[in-house]
Copies of this chain bind each other. A is one copy, B any other.
Amino acid sequence: MLPSDDRTWENNDVTRRRENSERLEAAAKLVVPGGVYGHGALTTRAHPRFFESGTGAHVTDVDGNELIDFMCGYGPNLLGMGHPRVEAAAERQRRKGDCFSGPTARWVELAEALVERIGHADWAMFTKNGTDATTLCTTIARAATGRRKILVARGAYHGAAPWCTPSDAGVPAEDRAHLLHYRYNDLESVAEAVARAGDDLAGIMVSPFRHDTFVDQELPTTEFARGLRRACDRAGAVLMIDEVRAGLRLARGGSWERLSVDPDLSAWGKALGNGYAISAVVGREDLRDAARRVYATGSFWYGGVAMAAACETLAVADEIGLPEMLTATGQQFRAGLEELATANGFSLRQTGPPQLPMVLFEGDTDFSLGKFFTGDAIDRGVYMHPYHNMFLSAAHTPAIVAEALERLSGSFESLRRYVDAAGPEGSR
């Protein structure tokens, strides 16, 4: 086994400037617990912590290192950073005003746009964080059914509120008292959890595909999706799809429409405003009254600018045929990575939909290969993640993907040299 030291990548033959990043990180540690917290801290020492600018598929860190960005802000960058049409639409609203004591006309326009494009959506509600949207789904499901139990897949991420955060620091057990778990793509485990819920099953939450950190992604089987729908129908419970991470990249409407499975509620976020802070819940007619009874609000939830950005994001996505476009460049990226890995004697695990690439090295249980590889890739100007799914945007053109692969060719070679130098125990 190679050591899983975050700094191994520094043994490569490329260097980049890191002074400003390190200086800012030290300054941050004085005034922010841990310096940087949250998903941006899930990366390795190789990853720049602070960003200076970005446009399209490129970001530049505070040391002036330009990177082809395969994280897209963990999802929000759907069309390319600073997309001209989205920015123009936001600017038009901004000149009028953003944060009033009630909504603007964009509220109606965006709700109409979501209702039009998502099969199961008869209405929409707007929130700010993805967590707001998933939490609101559970509250509506409980209000509608008068029941309490919510089923989620073991290991799935549905946000950072006490009921769903992956950490238990500061979270009393009661916040999760009505949470039951099943295994993704395992209807038997669903049936067991449904049985445990008894007559108290409010709903089942599920991601459109399994996109847990650290492990292979997994597409849902049609049988699994339909089985969840059937389980909810039988129990009079609410099926909820958490589209926050994957929504809009997989399909124009709901991600499970291709499986002919409609949920009762779905939560959307991240990509919806192409970087502007907005999330949403949409739902079926029979849940409208429960949704109306729930108290949901936030200081900035009427903000017209993010809604204007979202309306334009959806319009642009439709014009360019976004899911198909991302599928094509995702397949190009996947095939190119596969070829480079093979040429250098590595075996990759590339799983899930190509629009949200997940790249793990076969047998790399401590992610030492992934950490060295992504560290080296960042040195060569490609921002990748060693154990979290990545994201493509419409700005990731075939030429940019080809350029990224060209740079990554050096990273595979560098990894080969590193593994070979580590001797027999280091080989895979």
Contact = CB atoms under 8 A, between A and B. Distances in A.
Contact of A295 (B169, B299, B383): B169
Contacts of A95: 82
A161 B135 contact: yes
A130 B301 CA distance: 11
Contacts of A30: 123
A100 B37 contact: no
A122 B54 CA distance: 31
Interface stretch (A286-294, A339-347, A357-365, A400-408): A286-294
A317 interface: no
Contact of A100 (B73, B87, B112, B293): B73
Interface stretch (A138-146, A186-194, A211-219, A330-338): A138-146
Nearest to A302: B40
A166 interface: yes
A84 interface: no
B174 A100 contact: no
A95 B170 CA distance: 38
Interface stretch (A102-110, A249-257, A417-425): A102-110
A299 B132 CA distance: 11
A33 B95 CA distance: 29
A75 B138 CA distance: 29
| Chain copies in the assembled complex | 2
B32 A101 contact: no
Interface in A286-320: 288-304, 306
B37 A125 contact: yes
A386 interface: no
A201 to B, nearest CB: 13
A143 to B, nearest CB: 3
A33 B126 CA distance: 11
Contact of A101 (B69, B112, B160, B289): B69
B298 A170 contact: no
Contacts of A132: 129
Given A32-B111, A96-B53, A169 B143 contact: yes
Contacts of A290: 169-170
A195 to B, nearest CB: 20
A24 B160 contact: no
B142 A98 contact: no
A181 to B, nearest CB: 17
Contacts of A62: 104-105
28 contacts: A27-B112, A28-B108, A33-B289, A33-B291, A37-B295, A49-B103, A52-B96, A73-B99, A75-B299, A76-B300, A81-B99, A98-B275, A99-B275, A99-B276, A128-B128, A128-B277, A128-B298, A128-B300, A129-B301, A160-B297, A166-B295, A167-B295, A174-B178, A269-B299, A270-B299, A277-B299, A277-B306, A279-B299
Given A59-B100, A77-B99, A129-B301, 20 more contacts: A28-B107, A31-B111, A32-B111, A37-B296, A40-B102, A40-B297, A51-B97, A51-B101, A51-B103, A59-B97, A73-B299, A81-B97, A98-B276, A128-B300, A144-B170, A160-B297, A160-B298, A163-B175, A175-B175, A275-B300
9 interchain residue pairs of minimum CB distance: A38-B297, A143-B170, A40-B102, A167-B295, A139-B170, A54-B97, A277-B300, A51-B100, A31-B111
